[in-house]
Structure 1
């Protein structure tokens, strides 16, 4: 595109000439914000009531005595052999709860929700991972578990399920 008596045309000039007479496209695409999931007020009330009912079992004042050695508990009337079975890992947890980073109040609510879920879904064994941290949840969780009527037994978890940073819990299943 060179004329003998003109300078070579730049790419920008050629582009402008080729798009001459056109107009810009108008953006007509509408981006909608994601829809918020709405929970019916009745369902929300039922959920809150279930959490309140489940969490009423846990007192922060109650202190159980667990003795020396690994953490274990057997409810009255239960077979003492359950503790050994839990320690060996004979029971495999169906639900896991990780309490890392939660406050005591949050952990108590989550624990109540876990136990309510276990009852609803007929789960006989669950694992609660409280972690090491400063040891607050590690100390509180067993005292809360002892107070719940569905807890048959619990033991410090075997290494495969978290070792001394977790607890395996055996629950009564009411069919």
Structure 2
């Protein structure tokens, strides 16, 4: 039994007399949206992050790398034994980046993103698979890695990680990100 059925006809009339004329309300639902940052602010933040990440890479810089034998590099102040450890496979890559089919511009961005991800994921060793192909990325990737301050050493990867078409890099992890 509903509440309106409990009232007598006399009580219903008394209620209508007291209230007077009423106007039916229209149901107008208002959905409030959360304020989002303007696209200009979001785009500026993304550009800043990208610019900081790509800041270290220059295409004009030509480091003095060993052209004979496997590609290797050890940052000044870092023990040369680290490159040997990379060559021997003592370090296992925690992140792997495959650059096959990418242009130089996209490859540079991906390497910058990988190095940022190393800090976020606390990955000390990474594998960058550049392939051999026309030797464009094979030549450019070491030049870019030498320029980055967080790359301690790199060496041509063992066969299990790509051999001549890949590099194992050792990254200095800092808690700045």
TM-score range relative to shorter protein? 0.7 to 0.9
Aligned to 1:105: 105
What per-residue deviation string (whole Å, max 9, x for no partner) do you get for residues 14-46 of structure 1? xxxxxxxxxxxxxxxxxxxxxxxx998455543
TM-score normalised by structure 1 residue count: 0.74
Question: SS in structure 2 opposite 1:173?
Answer: coil
Aligned to 1:53: 52
Aligned to 2:134: 134
What per-residue deviation string (whole Å, max 9, x for no partner) do you get for residues 116-171 of structure 1? 11122221110000001100000000000000000000000001110010000000
Question: RMSD value over aligned CA atoms?
Answer: 1.7
Query: Distance in 2 between the 1:87 and 1:148 partners?
Result: 21
Aligned to 1:165: 165
Aligned to 2:120: 120
Aligned to 2:69: 69
Give 1 or 2: higher helix fraction: 2
Give the CA deviation at 1:83.
0.7
What per-residue deviation string (whole Å, max 9, x for no partner) do you get for residues 88-127 of structure 1? 1111111111100111111111111111111222211100
Query: Distance in 2 between the 1:80 and 1:147 partners?
Result: 18
Query: Distance in 2 between the 1:47 and 1:120 partners?
Result: 17
Query: Distance in 2 between the 1:40 and 1:102 partners?
Result: 31
TM-score normalised by structure 2 residue count: 0.73
Question: SS in structure 2 opposite 1:144?
Answer: helix
Distance verdict in 2 for CA 1:127–1:84, change over 3 Å: same
Query: Distance in 2 between the 1:159 and 1:46 partners?
Result: 40
- Give structure 2 stretches of 5+ with no counterpart: 1-35
Query: Distance in 2 between the 1:58 and 1:89 partners?
Result: 27
